[in-house]
Amino acid sequence: MKDIRYIFAIKEAMEEEMNRDENVFLIGEDVGLAGGSFGASKGLYEKFGPERIVDTPISELGFTSLAAGAASCGLRPIVEIMFMDFVTCCMDSIVNQIAKMRYMFGNQYTLPIVIRMPEGGGLNAGPQHSQCLEAWFAHVPGLKVVMAANPYDVKGLLKSAIRDDNPVIFIENKTLHAMKGSIPEEEYLVPLGKAEVKREGTDVTVVSASRLVNESLKAAETLSEAGVNVEVIDLMTIQPWDRETVYRSIGKTHRLVVAHEAVKQFGFGAEIVASVAEDILDELDAPIGRVGAPFVPASYSLEKYYVPNADDVKKAIMSTLERVF
Amino acid sequence: MGKPSKETMVKMYRTMVKIRKAEEKLMEVFSKGDILGFLHVSIGQEAAPVGICSHLADADYIATTHRGHGHAIAKGIDLKLAMAELFGKKDGYCLGRSGSMHLADKSRGIMGANGIVGGGIPIATGAAFAAKYRKTNQVAVSTFGEGATGEGAFHEALNFAAIKKLPIVYVCENNGWAEFSPHSIHMSIQSVTQRALAYDIPAVSVANNVLEIYEEAGKAVERARQGDGPTLIEVRSERWHGHYVGDAQKYRGKEKVEQAMTKDCLLDYEKELLQTNTLKKKDVEKINAEIGAEIEEAVNFARECPYPEVSEMMKGLYL
């Protein structure tokens, strides 16, 4: 085992996959000479050269659709979008083209593309550099949406995403880039489409992804001192999400909290809750709890009050535990 | 590159006739309700796809537009399977899922028509990127109308292709109308070539004449294959019909439509072939009869194909 930061785990995943398959290349703004805005591709330009670590003009739509064309012709692009907020400039590319090209053309083309982007607050970067928009993509048939909460998962999930033949929206979290964790020296993969029980418990199930998994684990630790046993599920892939693991857990705890950093309204938690209500409402002993940012643009000066944290998860858990049908 | 051989000239005529007759037939069946959704025809603009695609092999790529039947036919699409797709049938290229605006044939490098104006331009540029990445000597062609040149996708793609010297030819069919509005609503410049020049991409504007287009396309494809980068060709064509079939074109006026229809690139080419004795009257008649029969056969094939089963709708979204 070795200790590694989240951002370098991303780099290792890309480097290993580029060594493994010459069709894999990285494209985006400042990914080459500069080594990536957050340093995810540091050293890769020197190793693989400008043909495979491709610096682009500031043109998210252009280079994302370019990746779609290249993927249709047999390459396996990794696209880096500097901030998730900027992905709004390439919605035609992702929603109208990439998500549909395989199905729409009668399975003639395959689009093995990974579009990486960091979301979330933590840098006091304000309304246009802090958004969490994963639910937009989870709503579009044809895309997979993956979110990683720690260095081990980000490396294993990214490697799986690069090998996947479907387009994958791969969402990192800016505050996690510096997070340290332990990973094996040898190669490993973390499968897409599988959730993981990150902490076992019997009293309440928290379903989460990305940074809020870590916040939920903190909340669970605090509550264990008060004798509350919280089960924390990390979805890891939010589209398609692992119903089996979630439903099994609810069958055990009979209480549910969903937690994400994105604004609460219409977030991916709403889909989890709706599905639970549709399929296994009778398993619940109490109304569910939801954690998400308030329904306003991300705040610059009040960010610490805006971004949900362990305390918010704790409150939601307590509120659910205090209620019964 | 120079002039086309006699054989190529005749082949180009055949293909232009095929596009014209196929689209006339499509208009007929569309008006009867055999084809659903929208239908955009390119009647009057057959010269451009034929002039360009005469220089391409199956392995070369093309990404086109919602008005893309002509390009697909010129690139060699199987008419029966294409017709089946337009009829929404299971045996169509896209399993009947997509229709006219999404015709694609991977085996011939046809990367799809596109329902989004300008959407195909960076996709074709990506095909050119892949060709260069793999050093395959393939060339990509992107076709679009002048209306698409107002889209960011156009500018972002051309900028990138110029920087990377990608093997691509951009073909703008400037038919004077972008959807329902004239040129003057869309740009203050006279020619789209000016836009290309801003990216240091060589550009030329040609008349709606298949031999002129053939000549310029030959140079552009050769430049791309030699690794000298992109070229833009503007073809000054005419749109005979509305934005879609059924568009009464009230915004345009009857006179202007009639005027456009007097300019017929197919008829002009036919006259030239007859005058130069490249074809005789009876050859022309024979070609027209043969193509007419081929189209009838394709339509009959499409009619007889089954529709996809409802149960097939959920299949194949993810691999």
Query: pLDDT band at residue B1, thresholds of 50, 70 and 90?
Result: low
A69 with B111: Cβ contact below 8 A = yes
Pairing of strands A144-147, A168-173: parallel
Residue numbers of A annotated as active site: 129
CB–CB of A155/A5 below 8 Å? no
| DSSP 3-state of A15 | helix
Q: Which CATH superfamily is domain A2-183 in?
A: Thiamin diphosphate (ThDP)-binding fold, Pyr/PP domains (3.40.50.970)
The nearest alpha carbon in chain A to B155 belongs to A62
Q: What is the pLDDT of residues A115-141, one digit of tens each?
A: 999 999 999 999 999 999 999 999 999
Q: How far is A291 from A206, CA to CA, in rounded Å?
A: 10
Tallying the residues shown for chain A, one arrives at 325
pLDDT of residue B253: 86
Q: Rounded to the nearest 5 degrees, what angle is found at the Cα of B208, between the Cα atoms of B260 and B19?
A: 85
- What are the residue boundaries of the structural domains of chain A, listed by start? 2-183, 196-321
Q: What is the pLDDT of residues B7-63, one digit of tens each?
A: 999 999 999 999 999 999 999 999 999 999 999 999 999 999 999 999 999 999 999
pLDDT at B121 over 70: yes
Residue A136: half-sphere exposure toward Cβ, Cα within 13 Å: 16
Range A278-295 average pLDDT: 98
To test the contact with chain B by mutation, choose from A105, A165, A237, A239 the residue with the greatest count of B C-beta atoms within 10 A, namely A105
Model ipTM?
A: 0.96
Q: How far is B319 from B308, CA to CA, in rounded Å?
A: 20
Residue type, A70: A
Contacts with B104 from chain A: Cβ below 8 Å? 105-106, 108-109
pLDDT at A89 over 70: yes
Assess whether the previous peptide bond of A240 is cis (omega < 30° from 0).
yes
| DSSP 3-state of A297 | coil
The per-residue pLDDT of chain B, averaged, comes to 95
Q: How far is B18 from B289, CA to CA, in rounded Å?
A: 11
Q: Please give the residue that has the higher pLDDT: either B209 or B1.
A: B209
A108 with B106: Cβ contact below 8 A = yes
pLDDT at B192 over 90: yes
Q: What is the pLDDT of residues A37-85, one digit of tens each?
A: 999 999 999 999 999 999 999 999 999 999 999 999 999 999 999 999 9
Q: How far is A37 from A31, CA to CA, in rounded Å?
A: 7
Range B237-263 average pLDDT: 88
Tallying the residues shown for chain B, one arrives at 319
Interface of B with A (CB under 8 A): 61, 63, 92-95, 97-98, 102, 104-106, 111-112, 114-116, 119, 121-131, 133-134, 140, 152-153, 155-157, 159-160, 163, 316-319
Contacts with A67 from chain B: Cβ below 8 Å? 126
Q: What is the pLDDT of residues A154-180, one digit of tens each?
A: 999 999 999 999 999 999 999 999 999
A142 with B318: Cβ contact below 8 A = yes
Range A247-268 average pLDDT: 98
Q: For residue A106, give the nearest of B95, B153, B319 by CB distance.
A: B95
Range A238-249 average pLDDT: 98
Q: How far is B197 from B204, CA to CA, in rounded Å?
A: 10
Q: How far is A64 from B157, CA to CA, in rounded Å?
A: 10
Q: For residue B106, give the nearest of A103, A109, A144 by CB distance.
A: A109
- What are the residue boundaries of the structural domains of chain B, listed by start? 6-312
Pick B6-312's CATH classification: 3.40.1280.10, 3.50.50.60, 3.40.50.300, 3.40.50.970.
3.40.50.970
Range B251-267 average pLDDT: 90
Query: pLDDT band at residue A150, thresholds of 50, 70 and 90?
Result: very high
Q: Which two tokens stand for residue A197?
A: 């029980």
SS (H, E, C) chain B: CCCCCHHHHHHHHHHHHHHHHHHHHHHHHHHCCCCCCCCCCCCCCCHHHHHHHCCCCCCCEEECCCCCHHHHHHCCCCHHHHHHHHCCCCCCCCCCCCCHHHCCEHHHCECCCCCCCCCHHHHHHHHHHHHHHCCCCCCEEEEEEHHHHHCHHHHHHHHHHHHHCCCEEEEEEECCEECCEEHHHHCCCCCCHHHHHCCCCCEEEEECCHHHHHHHHHHHHHHHHCCCCCEEEEEECCCCCCCCCCCCCCCCCHHHHHHHHHCCHHHHHHHHHHHCCCCCHHHHHHHHHHHHHHHHHHHHHHHHCCCCCHHHCCCCCCC
Contacts with A57 from chain B: Cβ below 8 Å? 156, 159-160, 163
Q: How far is A13 from B236, CA to CA, in rounded Å?
A: 50
pLDDT of residue B256: 86
Q: Is A279 on the interface with B (CB under 8 A)?
A: no
Percent of chain A with pLDDT over 90: 99
pLDDT of residue B242: 87
DSSP string, A39-97: STTTTHHHHH-TTTEEE--S-HHHHHHHHHHHHHTT-EEEEE-SSGGGGGGGHIIIIII
Range A240-265 average pLDDT: 98
Q: What is the pLDDT of residues A100-111, one digit of tens each?
A: 999 999 999 999
Residue type, B192: V
Q: How far is A170 from A152, CA to CA, in rounded Å?
A: 15
Give the distance from residue B153's alpha carbon to the nearest chain A alpha carbon, in angstroms: 6
Q: How far is B168 from B170, CA to CA, in rounded Å?
A: 6
Range B152-176 average pLDDT: 97
A104 with B159: Cβ contact below 8 A = no
pLDDT at A191 over 90: yes
pLDDT at A254 over 90: yes
- For domain A196-321, the CATH architecture is 3-Layer(aba) Sandwich (3.40)
Query: How does DSSP classify residue A165?
Result: S
The per-residue pLDDT of chain A, averaged, comes to 97
pLDDT of residue B260: 87
